[in-house]
Amino acid sequence: MERLKKVIENENKKYDLSITDTLSTLSININEKDSLIKKEYSKEYTLKELSEFGKFFKMCDSISNVIVSLRETFEYKKPRIKEANNNIELTIFPILTSMGESTLVIPSKSEDYKKIVNNLCEIIKNQANEIKSLQLKVNSLEEKMKKFEESGDFRRILNKDTLIGDIIKTKEQYNLICDWINREKPFKFKLLYKGTTDGDSKDIFHKKCDQQGPTISIIESTDGQIFGGYTAKSWNKDNKGDIPDPDSFLFNVNIKKKYCVSNNKGLMVDYICDFGGSNFHEMWAYNNYFSQNAACDNGTGYNFKNYELSGGKNKYNVRELEVYKVIEC
């Protein structure tokens, strides 16, 4: 007994095709895969009946030769299946195009009512179990989301590593900065400028940071003070005067203090990361700041005294300076 098995895909459906040689007849059985109600088509053909379906089968002098020919054909050509009423039309393409194709009509195999109902009940049972499992997962996710929202972290970036690095080293420091920014919508950070990598010149700072929208600048001094400033405005070296920003602020991470802007001051563009107003610089770094001091002053633009912003020193040396873009998600 010869047998040929193959999976055929047509019209977004899959079928199991089984062809068996029973010496005197060719038995063809087709099952539709993954269907809700099992569909099965079956028919037997004699060699004489096959010869009526075209040149492809006329070349065979026995049923076993039909199987051999079909096996060779299926290796090179894909048979086509088409559902028509209660029949399946199986079209077989020969290797030699001059021989022509053959289409066999395979009728559906009827099933009794009880078998169909049992099959549907089994499907419904499986789907009910899947729904129950999915509901448990949904409940778990909802509980996690509730805790997440209650913690306030929903306003913060999920990939914290874009801010935590050389200067901001802990989750506590990261959360502190996020709380100071305090946007209603979730946001994330993108590194625009890094002094030790990009260089400490004013031109490079403005090339990388100008016209970028909201940014946060972070400085670490050589004595371990971490401080900086946030602005909702864009840096712009071509601006000829102050850039007012009522949302800007300065901060010191070590002492966990935020200094809000006053008198509608904001940014200046004379130096690098230049916060202040009216020719009074509260925080800034000189061109080539790694080789000379940077500074902060007790000015009128932000509310701090005794050079508290930079740890009590008017002049300081920069270990690292980073500027991040603040992006709403």
pLDDT in tens, 157-179: 445 447 888 899 988 999 899 99
What global pTM score does this model have? 0.55
Which pair of tokens denotes residue 277?
């107003």
Cα 239 to Cα 306: distance, rounded to the nearest angstrom: 30
Nearest Cα neighbor of 250 from 284, 294, 213 is 284
Regarding whether 266 and 184 lie in a shared domain, the answer is yes
Regarding whether 125 and 76 lie in a shared domain, the answer is no
Regarding whether 184 and 126 lie in a shared domain, the answer is no
Regarding whether 240 and 176 lie in a shared domain, the answer is yes
Regarding whether 277 and 169 lie in a shared domain, the answer is yes
Q: Is the pLDDT of residue 209 over 70?
A: yes
Regarding whether 115 and 26 lie in a shared domain, the answer is no
Regarding whether 138 and 90 lie in a shared domain, the answer is no
Regarding whether 318 and 227 lie in a shared domain, the answer is yes
Regarding whether 124 and 103 lie in a shared domain, the answer is no
Among 78, 110, 142, the domain-final residue is 110
**Is 1:9 a contact under the CB 8 Å cutoff?**
no
Q: What is the CATH number of the domain that holds 60?
A: 2.170.210.10
Cα 58 to Cα 62: distance, rounded to the nearest angstrom: 10
Among 127, 151, 175, the domain-final residue is 151
**Is 192:324 a contact under the CB 8 Å cutoff?**
yes
pLDDT of residue 160: 45
Regarding whether 296 and 217 lie in a shared domain, the answer is yes
How many domains would you assign to the chain? 3
Regarding whether 166 and 141 lie in a shared domain, the answer is no
What is the tens place of the pLDDT at every residue in 243-273? 889 899 999 999 999 998 887 778 888 889 9
Cα 23 to Cα 63: distance, rounded to the nearest angstrom: 6
Domain carrying residue 70: 3-110
Task: Identify which has the larger pLDDT, 97 or 45.
Answer: 45
Cα 52 to Cα 207: distance, rounded to the nearest angstrom: 81
Regarding whether 80 and 31 lie in a shared domain, the answer is yes
Q: Mean pLDDT over residues 19-24, rounded?
A: 86
